[in-house]
Amino acid sequence: MCVLGRQSVYSKKKMVNEAFDACRYLGDHGLDANLISFNTMLHVSQSSDQNNLAWKIFEYMFVRRIYPNQTTTEVMIDVMLKEGVLPKLVSVLDRIHGSRCAPGIIVNTTLAFRIIEEDRAEETITLLKRMLQRNMMFDDIAYSLIVTSYCKLCKLDSTLQSKDEMINRGCSLNSYVYTCLIGFYSQEERIEEGVQMMEEMSSIGLKPYDETYNHLIIGPSRNGWTN
């Protein structure tokens, strides 16, 4: 890359960081940027390979209740393609929902997963409930991720309550939810309950996958259940 090219990229990176800082400062004082401004920051972040910043901006939009449009979604799909995470996320959604989802659902789900992976499960639950209120997320996906979040927080009662709420809303349990529960029980050294979940999963025709088996291997191994 020539010197002028490097300077141009640096200028873009500096500009979008400063713009986002200003956006948050104004937001803290009750003055929110509009959707066009957010989309511009996202586009510059994506084009200058600042993918993490793009996700921060995208999350902040939800915090400030500035909801994405088609342009926002297209930029974030480009971010996912650059990161190489799109195929993995689509595979997870197939386990949860059973059919391909619209790009907006894919992007919103990816944001929720990222927040979970950053050990901010409480914030994930708040985000998912907000998405549900705005019809920006399918019930089965939202509740599957809420179950995951409560498993991360080691809150069994809330986990099981969310599982029941999922059923009461007409959603079928899926292999992803069962795998999360099996992982939770294995981590908590409640091996018999994990095995019971596996049996229940099989009884309703759901197929376990690699992660499901890994939980059932690692958990018992820690407790000397080598058989």
For 106-132, the pLDDT digits (tens) are: 999 999 999 999 999 999 999 999 999
Mean pLDDT of 157-163: 94
Residues 6+ apart with CB under 8 A from 9: 1, 48
Taking only the tens place, the pLDDT of each residue in 190-208 is 888 988 999 999 999 998 8
Contact 127, 152 (CB under 8 A): no
Contact 111, 58 (CB under 8 A): yes
% the chain with pLDDT above 70: 90
CA dist., res. 108 & res. 131, Å (int) = 8
Q: Where are the alpha helices (DSSP H) in 29-174?
A: 35-47, 51-63, 70-83, 86-97, 103-117, 121-133, 139-152, 156-168
Domain ranges of the chain: 173-227
- pLDDT computed for residue 221 by the predictor: 61
CA dist., res. 39 & res. 45, Å (int) = 10
The reported pTM is 0.87
